[in-house]
Homo-oligomer: A and B are copies of this chain.
């Protein structure tokens, strides 16, 4: 085999044993109505994300909390049924919010936050959370790793500052690409750089 073939094979072996990791920065999900109120037009996709169908939009927002604001915050598409803001605990401290650690979409009793766009301002009554660290897996990968949807596992990181995360939620769907999602606090705590992998410990 030539070098390129060996490298490709090594990549496929890695993907069978480990899961690629990604760091998610702070971002916002919006409803169609909120998108119109903030921008006056639909979102403009500029970058596909690793999860099929998901994208980063050209449009950006300012988040305003009781103690501070964060500018130029990413908006992800497509539109959802309820607006949601995913922050690191560092971001939450900057804004002056105490946010629960939750899975995406679970915004019950989470604090509100103000969104400012070029066209207007939207006050979310709730929706500011820290995303619980999680692993997206398609069913075949989940079966191979011996894990199920909603199972809580450990994840050993092969990173510059290695550690074993506990309390990592597995999410299984045929729509998913295999990826570990961390926030920037977690990514920095383990010294993550793009392309790093982790090992699931069921």
Please report A residues at the B interface, Cβ cutoff 8 Å: 88-90, 101, 133, 160-167, 184-186, 188-191
Determine if A164 and B167 form an interchain contact, defined as CB atoms under 8 angstroms apart. Answer: no
Determine if A188 and B101 form an interchain contact, defined as CB atoms under 8 angstroms apart. Answer: no
Copy number of this protein in the oligomer? 2
* Contact residues in B for A101 (Cβ distance below 8 Å): 160-161, 191
Contact of A89 among B163, B166, B167, B188 (CB under 8 A): B188
Q: Is the interface of A mostly helix, strand, loop or mixed?
A: mixed
Determine if B184 and A90 form an interchain contact, defined as CB atoms under 8 angstroms apart. Answer: yes
* Contact residues in B for A160 (Cβ distance below 8 Å): 101
Contact of A190 among B88, B90, B184, B189 (CB under 8 A): B189
CA gap between A92 and B132 in the complex, in Å: 24
Determine if A164 and B166 form an interchain contact, defined as CB atoms under 8 angstroms apart. Answer: yes
Contact of A185 among B162, B166, B189 (CB under 8 A): B189
* Contact residues in B for A165 (Cβ distance below 8 Å): 163, 189
Determine if B166 and A163 form an interchain contact, defined as CB atoms under 8 angstroms apart. Answer: yes
Using A89-B191, A90-B90, A186-B189 as known contacts, list a sample of 8 further A-B pairs with CB atoms less than 8 Å apart, ordered by residue number in A: A89-B188, A90-B185, A90-B188, A101-B160, A101-B161, A101-B191, A165-B189, A185-B188
* Contact residues in B for A189 (Cβ distance below 8 Å): 165, 185-186, 188-190
- Most B Cβ at <10 Å: residue of A101, A160, A164: A164
CA gap between A101 and B161 in the complex, in Å: 9
